[in-house]
């Protein structure tokens, strides 16, 4: 387990990563920031990893049985924490949206049994997909997913889609989420 959650560290970023982290948030899609022609300078940032000690990470750990930070790469954790800071997204905001997602599952009579993480660190995106494995048929899954997405959109002005996406998937034979 890498212990990032209870410390702040300073890291150096190149101009491209600074641009990716600092780009404004435009729901539903981020602004594209092309790589800069500026000379390569290094920018130092303080990374606050406390976002990973918030209730959302603890709840994911309770579902999966594995610490959240054990499931993602330290480099992605750093970029994710910096992007969250730049967007002023707190652990509580993520927890609120995740509670809505899990509540929507419960309202439909289902619960998250497994968790799968999809870390997107490509081009301008720094995004985390959190997919809940649900014991249901494919037909039920479609309705559950629509209901969950609608609940998130109706309750939260910007459901953090520039940083975190919540989804559900049916468990396949053998109990593994896709």
- The residue written with tokens 């289902």 in the block is 110
Beta-strand runs (E) in the chain: 8-13, 43-48, 112-120, 127-134, 164-170
Position 175 in a domain? no
CA angle (125 as vertex; 163, 12 as ends), nearest 5: 95
Position 2 in a domain? no
Q: How many CB atoms lie within 10 A of CB 118?
A: 12
Position 112 in a domain? yes
pLDDT, position 178: 39
Position 135 in a domain? yes
pLDDT, position 158: 86
pLDDT, position 1: 35
Position 20 in a domain? yes
Largest CA distance in the chain: 56
pLDDT, position 90: 93
Position 178 in a domain? no
Euclidean distance between CA atoms 91 and 95, whole angstroms:
6
pLDDT, position 23: 78
pLDDT, position 177: 43
Taking CA atoms, 156 is separated from 2, 75, 81, 152, in Å, by: 32, 29, 21, 6
- What is the chain's pLDDT, residue by residue, as a tens digit (178 residues)? 345 545 677 888 887 788 788 877 765 455 555 555 555 667 788 898 999 989 999 999 999 999 888 999 999 999 999 999 999 999 999 999 999 999 999 999 999 999 999 998 877 788 999 999 999 998 899 999 999 999 999 999 888 888 999 999 998 654 444 3
Euclidean distance between CA atoms 33 and 82, whole angstroms:
16
Position 15 in a domain? yes
Q: How many structural domains compose the chain?
A: 1
pLDDT, position 8: 74
Position 176 in a domain? no
Instruction: For residue 33, count CB atoms less than 10 angstroms from its CB and return exposed for 0-12, middle for 13-18, buried for 19 or more.
Output: middle
Its domain, for residue 135, covers 8-170
> How much is the pTM?
0.81
């Amino acid at each position: 387990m890498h212990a990032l959650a209870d410390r702040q560290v300073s890291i150096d970023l190149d101009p491209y990563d600074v641009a990716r982290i600092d780009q404004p948030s435009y729901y539903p899609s981020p602004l594209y920031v092309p790589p800069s022609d500026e000379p390569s300078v290094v920018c130092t940032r303080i990374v606050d990893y406390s976002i990973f000690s918030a209730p959302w990470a603890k709840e994911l750990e309770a579902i999966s049985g594995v610490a959240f930070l054990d499931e993602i790469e330290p480099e992605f954790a750093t970029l994710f924490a910096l992007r969250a800071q730049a967007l002023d997204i707190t652990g509580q905001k993520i927890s609120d949206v995740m509670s809505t997602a899990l509540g929507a599952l419960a309202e439909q009579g289902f619960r998250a049994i497994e968790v799968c993480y999809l870390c997107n660190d490509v081009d301008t995106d720094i995004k985390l997909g959190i997919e809940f494995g649900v014991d249901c048929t494919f037909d039920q899954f479609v309705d559950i997913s629509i209901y969950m997405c609608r609940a998130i959109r109706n309750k939260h002005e910007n459901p953090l889609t520039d940083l975190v996406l919540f989804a559900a998937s049916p468990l396949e034979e053998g109990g593994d989420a896709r």
